[in-house]
Chain A
Amino acid sequence: MNLDTDVIRRQFPFLKKLREERPVAYLDNAATTQKPQAVLDRLEQFYAEHNANINRGMHPLAEEATVAYENARSIVSRFIGAASPQEIIFTRNATESINLVARSYGELLKKDDGIALSLLEHHSNIIPWMQLSKRQGTTIDWIELQEDGRPDLGSLKNILKKKKTKLVSITGLSNVLGIRTPLQDIISLAHEAGAKVLIDAAQLIAHATIDVQELDIDFLAFSGHKIYGPTGIGVLYGKQELLQSMPTFLGGGDMIASVDRDGFVPAELPRKFEAGTPSIADAIGLGSAIEWMESIGVDPMRAQTKHVLAYARKKLESVKDLKILGPTSGNDLLGCVSFTVDGIHPHDCTELLGQKGICLRAGHHCTQILHKYLGVTASTRLSVAVYNTEEEIDRCIEEIIAAQKRFRK
């Protein structure tokens, strides 16, 4: 089934913005996606008609808010194939989800316990583990990459042989190279060695179906704003028994069953990990974003996005003096492509393209370790979503070539 991109584009108010009388070509979706009218309407509707705090008010409106918030949790639970909505913890974003695991599950770890990370990781899946090392004396083992940038499973095997790894924390899809990591293999290797697995799905969630039970994932983290939902809402999935065994994270209202002078008893899941008033409207907005995706058709959306990315990769490859980072072919390439252009710093490249209404991202994309490994200080990234078209890619390529001409005069 082919999607009608025009019909989809009309649902995004942001895409109606014009630059030099042409619509903005938004190709920075790995940073955040634009929001469809359905999500914007749902947010407004919540605040206008149902706004109340959840879980405590005894008045009927408070119940409406609680029901809508819990409904969003159920939608997320179904979307990733969790066994129960209790396994879905709402956080601010993927970063907070990973920090929750590092703080809470991390508290159960001891000196010299190992955390295995790949060189592909975003800083959000590195720093919390470095902080944990400082607190608990845990160590970080780096899963090396193959020449083309794909993770080296041999390196993971060698790390696991040391029998000290307690957690393998790895991205499901690189936010720079656009490489989908072989989760099934990684998870079985980790589990065979008795280690748990955390999947940073910040990028993968937008581009592939994830079934946490089928993959036997222990923890999964993602943000709502990269799948057409609002900012300020993220998800941590954790297996129920694991979440139950973990100490509490933030303390405060809502996360307790009872408190007396001697201490407190934590609430049951999921509230145990949701202290204070959560982002109620944003959680509901995330629920509506998922329902919106389902109404379009999640599989056709992904096929469309993959098609446009493949087109972009092919076109970029044909540009002289442009170098694509990482592999250039394979069925595991999704979401984004990063590149460097000889003689033009990525900031200048994105600035010039931005003046023409073409939005890309420049910098190290929160992956300084990966960039150092690749031997570049910064790169330019093009990332796609369901509303992108081949015509936008063509415009982007034209402007890259124009920038090259301008800088080389």
Chain B
Amino acid sequence: MDLYAENILDHFRSPRGKEPLEKPSVEHHEINASCGDELTLQLRIEGKKITALSWSGTGCAISQAAMSMLSEELIGMPLEKADHLEPEHVKQLLGVPVGTRRTKCALLCLHTLKNAIRKHVGKEMLSWTQMLEPR
């Protein structure tokens, strides 16, 4: 199957979840230094749930589409659940074969999300290695 399937290109061309958010509970920025992909994620957290979000970013189609797809299912998700999302879950969302080469592009959204949650609850940031290790 093609990496640039129509759903990926659709999310890249018309990303979801980028509408500005007022009074976010937390904002977090991550960068993929090796290729310059960047994501900034804002979350509004109420009652241990994500109730609203907004993101912005630049980078390749995979990194941006993955953030767009992930953002669609985060509203209403308990923090605990969001924090335990597995890398595999994002790969399934994308639904295309993400090789070793593009793993970091695909998972930058998850990295940003998990560290945003950690920032909010005052836990230490995860490194890439920690994030990629299945718990």
Residues on A lying within 8 angstroms of B by beta carbon are 345-348, 351-352, 355, 362-364, 368, 371, 377-378, 406-407, 409
Contact = CB atoms under 8 A, between A and B. Distances in A.
B20 interface: no
Interface of B: 2-4, 9, 12-13, 33-38, 58-62, 101-102, 105
Contacts of B36: 363-364, 371, 377-378
Contact of A363 (B13, B35, B38): B35
A348 B62 contact: yes
Contacts of A362: 35
30 contacts: A345-B35, A345-B59, A345-B60, A346-B35, A347-B35, A347-B62, A347-B102, A348-B4, A348-B61, A348-B62, A351-B3, A351-B4, A351-B101, A351-B102, A355-B3, A362-B35, A363-B34, A363-B35, A363-B36, A364-B34, A364-B35, A364-B36, A368-B33, A377-B38, A378-B36, A406-B9, A407-B12, A407-B13, A407-B61, A409-B9
Q: Which 9 A-B pairs have the closest CB atoms?
A: A377-B36, A345-B60, A347-B60, A378-B36, A348-B60, A348-B61, A347-B35, A363-B35, A378-B35
A347 B9 contact: no
Contacts of B12: 407
A362 B36 CA distance: 11
A305 to B, nearest CB: 28
B60 to A, nearest CB: 4
Looking at chain B's contact residues, the main secondary structure is mixed
B105 A347 contact: yes
Nearest to A347: B60
Nearest to B10: A409
Contacts of B37: 345
Contacts of B13: 407, 409
A371 B34 CA distance: 12
B61 to A, nearest CB: 5
Contacts of B58: 377
Contacts of A364: 34-36
A15 to B, nearest CB: 22
B108 to A, nearest CB: 12
B117 to A, nearest CB: 26
Contacts of B35: 345-347, 362-364, 377-378
A380 to B, nearest CB: 11
Contacts of B38: 377
A378 B35 CA distance: 6
Q: Which of B2, B36, B38, B59: most chain A CB closer than 10 A?
A: B36
A123 to B, nearest CB: 12
A407 B4 CA distance: 9
Nearest to A379: B36
A201 B83 CA distance: 48
A248 to B, nearest CB: 35
Given A348-B4, A377-B38, 20 more contacts: A345-B60, A346-B35, A346-B60, A347-B35, A347-B60, A347-B105, A348-B61, A351-B3, A351-B101, A352-B4, A355-B3, A362-B35, A364-B34, A364-B36, A377-B36, A377-B58, A377-B59, A378-B35, A406-B9, A409-B9
